Amino acid sequence: MNYNRCLILKLILIQALLALSILSVADGLTVKGAIIEMNVTPGNHISREIKVQTSSTDSPMDILVDVMGYGQSPQGGSKAISPDKDTSPYTARPFLNVTPAAFHIDPGQQKSVTLAGDVPMDVGSGGRYAIVNIHSKPQGKGTVGVSLAINVPVRLIINSTEQIRKGEITDLKLKEPISGRQQNVTLTFKNTGNYHYFVKVNASLTDMDGILLARTSTPLSIFSVIPTSTRVIEFSFLPVASLNAGSYKINATIELEDGTVLVEKVTGFAL
């Protein structure tokens, strides 16, 4: 990859991350400070403000705020996990709270919510994670109301502790039907470390003699992968010439932003 392409990809990533710092729900809530990431020290008190706002055309709303467990979809989106199901050893939920936990907001008004807590002395190493779930009470008539919700990811990095970045490729397979002209691949990766990080894929396609037929790569992920979470990444090969009947191999690596290879996996297929 040449310098200009690298620069363009980095600019795209920066723009995406900036956009994520302000989250909104159509016809409803807007949140500033929608990603909270901070370095913390065991024993210290931490505090961060989240601003919630509606537009002048919105309806009045009653808002509820909860600290939940931090989950991720296979595509990287955040999801709130209820306290009874939040079993991750990397959760920050138990030592965080929000004030106020409920409030009324009028059209065009802005309210501040404070996330705070005391980091335990025995918090451990790496990262700790939680979700601030901001949602309206159901609105509308009838048996089914409409509720608006925004998840604010909270990622805490524990100072002066080891940040372990490691993982495993749990699955690497081709999508059916397998074509000689284009090979579509699905890779499933799990973060088995104690810290969140961004990943990318580099992969090669060879015949059984090791002759290179095609290479491909994916951009650095927009969403970091938090510990214990699984990420599904799809990519394709486009060989210069259509593959003949025979056996082939795919070698895929998961890499960090600086090119460090975390894990590698090989799979074979036949046409």
99-145 tens-digit pLDDT: 999 999 999 999 999 999 999 999 999 999 999 999 988 765 544 45
Residues 38 and 125 in one domain: yes
Q: Which domain holds residue 65?
A: 3-158
Residues 51 and 175 in one domain: no
pLDDT in tens, 10-61: 434 434 443 344 444 445 678 887 799 999 999 999 999 999 999 888 889 9
Alpha carbons 234 and 139: distance in angstroms, whole number: 38
Residues 107 and 181 in one domain: no
CATH no. for residue 193? Answer: 2.60.40.10
β-pairing, 149-158 vs 61-72, is unpaired
State which amino acid sits at residue 231.
R
Instruction: Please say which residue of 158, 182, 217 terminates a domain.
Output: 158
pLDDT in tens, 207-245: 999 999 999 999 999 999 999 999 999 999 999 999 999
For residue 27, the model assigns a pLDDT of 52
| Residues contacting residue 172 through CB under 8 Å, at least 6 positions apart | 185, 186, 187, 188, 250, 252, 265, 266, 267
CB-CB contact of 174 with 227 (8 Å): no
Q: How far is CA 88 from CA 15, 210, 246, 260, in A?
A: 31, 42, 45, 26
pLDDT in tens, 145-191: 557 889 999 999 999 999 999 999 999 999 999 999 999 999 999 99
For residue 11, the model assigns a pLDDT of 39
Residues 42 and 128 in one domain: yes
Alpha carbons 110 and 194: distance in angstroms, whole number: 36
For residue 138, the model assigns a pLDDT of 78
Alpha carbons 47 and 113: distance in angstroms, whole number: 10
Does 6 have pLDDT greater than 50? no
- The pTM of this model reads 0.85
